[in-house]
Structure 1
Amino acid sequence: MDEAEGPASRPAGRTRRRGAALEEAILRAAVDEMTASGYAGLAMDKVAARAGTNKNAIYRRWPNRLALGIAAYRQLATTAPLPDAGSLRADALELLRQANRHWSSPLGAILRELFAAAGGAAELVAQLRDQSGDAVAAPWLTVLGRAVARGEAGPEALHPRVATVAIVLLRNEFVVRGAPTAPDDVLVEIVDEVYLPLVRCRGLHDADRG
């Protein structure tokens, strides 16, 4: 039987909530807490008070603060439009700039805190919808596929590790180096000095092997 709010935690006149309605109230409260104070300020008792419930109701759904924080972040994450500027360089730069704006934003600060708390645990990172392997690779494979169709790259370049090397390097600026944002010249360097040469060399190398 699903646990509902206890009488002591429910304000007078409020209808007892169960199931999805209670879960939505808890998530909304967690989102509000993280928006106001970041993941570092997320506390189960504060979320319970804001949601008008008790901590037991939260722990029945999320076993710890990190699990609740990840679930709340997923409510906030949005998908940016996919660039289509007509060239691989322009599209790759725009994808990096979108990611840089996100990681530099208050929401990105929350994301960096969650990554640090997860300690690189793959099963936890995978729950961050916009940061899972497939979600990260999808836009890069799309723009790279368009480049292949235009003749800018060979089909051999269509590999997830090749496609995502630029975004991995940018992520390292934030997660490993602790940078609050990446200057645009760093994004240009990643694309011009690493990403595009790798894409081109991949096709040449595979052609030579054939």
Structure 2
Amino acid sequence: MSEGRTKSTPARRRGAVLENAIIDAAWEVLVERGYNGFTFEAVAAHAGTSKPVLYRRWPQRADLLIATLTRHWYPLEIPDTGSLRQDALALLRAVNAERARTVMLMRIQLADYFRETGTNFSDLRSRLRLADEKPPFAQLVDSAVERGELAEVPRPERVVNLPFDLLRHDLLMGTGAVPDETIVEIVDAVWLPLLDLTLHGTQPRR
């Protein structure tokens, strides 16, 4: 034990240890108080540090918010079953199981953030995604093209990403996870038929 330090004196946190503690505290503040209560003062107090420590890392409140959400919006594993249908079902089921709580949190706790910034859930999702990372369903379509399941033709981004958008809508409109039959319906009755319209280069009607 170094001179001048007692057993009751905690070691000073630095680097990644301190940053992780701040992000954990920020998440707890967001969950408990929502965006309005997500202040530098509240996070610093909860993390047992000072506001200048936060400002040095995240100059704006939105920077701290994105860093906090990124920790809890980890990339999902992209399925590779050899079948576009099975890949889509597996990915939607993973989103339904692992992200339902986070989506509901964003709906409730970030409403003021969306109003303040004039953005929406899709904009936020884009910020949380790595800059060079393709959306998950775009990756599934690319794999299907490589396997020969789909023709290599241009497809509207809205069509490619539709399964996630529909699932997100149902999550936001409901109070919990989406029934599995809804997931199957999204894939079989909506998405695959739309992709089939582009099989020979035919674009869906605008």
The residue identity in structure 1 corresponding to 2:119 is A
The answer as to whether partners of 2:159 and 2:195 remain within 8 angstroms in 1 is: yes
* Equivalent residue, structure 2, for 1:174: 171
Q: Would you say the 8 A contact 1:102–1:108 is kept in 2?
A: no
TM score, norm. by length of structure 2: 0.71
Q: Which runs of 5+ in 1 are unaligned?
A: 1-10
Partner of 1:144: 141
Cα separation, partners in 2 of 1:153 and 1:179, compared to 1, 3 Å: farther
1:70-99 deviations in whole A, cap 9, x for unaligned?
Answer: 321112222222111121111111111111
Match of 2:43 in 1: 47
* CA distance in 1: counterparts of 2:171 and 2:201, whole angstroms: 32
Contact 2:30–2:109 under 8 Å retained in 1? no
The structure with the largest helix share of the pair is 1
Distance in 1 between the 2:86 and 2:136 partners? 14
**3-state SS, counterpart of residue 79 of structure 1:** coil
Given the superposition, is the C-alpha separation of residues 115 and 45 from structure 1 closer, same or farther in structure 2, using an over 3 Å criterion? Answer: closer
Corresponding letter in the other structure for 1:94: A
Letter in 1 for 2:90: E
1:121 aligns with: 119
The one of 148, 153, 161 aligned to 2:150? 153
Give me the whole-angstrom Cα distance separating, in 1, the residues matched to 2:72 and 2:178: 22
In structure 2, the partner of 1:75 is 71
Unaligned runs of 5+ in 2: 1-7
Which of 185, 191, 197 is 2:193 aligned to? 197
- In 2, the alpha carbon distance for the partners of 1:48 and 1:139 equals 35
Change (3 A) 1:125 1:88: closer
8 Å CA contact 1:34–1:110 kept in 2: the answer is no
Query: What is the root-mean-square deviation of aligned Cα atoms in Å?
Result: 3.4
Aligned-pair distance for 1:201?
0.8
Give 1:43 deviation, angstroms.
4.9
Q: Aligned partner of 1:160: which letter?
A: E
Q: What CA distance in whole angstroms lies between the structure 2 residues aligned with 1:147 and 1:86?
A: 8
Bigger RCO of structures 1 and 2 (CA < 8 A, at least 6 apart): 2
Name 2:4's counterpart in structure 1.
Answer: none
Determine which of 101, 104, 110 is the counterpart of 2:105.
Answer: 110
Deviation (angstroms), 1:126: 3.4
Deviations for 1:126-158, whole angstroms, at most 9, x for unmatched residues?
A: 33237x8x75x5321222122223332211255
Checking the alignment, whether the CA contact within 8 Å between 1:115 and 1:125 is kept in structure 2 is: no
Tell me the TM-score normalized by structure 1.
0.70
Q: Distance in 2 between matches of 1:39 and 1:98?
A: 26
Contact 1:38 1:110 in 2 (8 A): no
Alignment partner of 2:161 out of 159, 164, 167: 164
Instruction: Quickly say closer, same or farther: Cα 1:68–1:170, change in 2 above 3 A.
Output: same
CA deviations on 1:12-51 (whole Å, 9 max, x unpaired) are 776486x87755543232134346x374664543321222
Is the CA contact (8 Å cut-off) linking 1:112 and 1:174 kept in structure 2?
no
Instruction: Confirm or deny: 8 A CA contact 1:74 1:128 kept in the other structure.
Output: yes
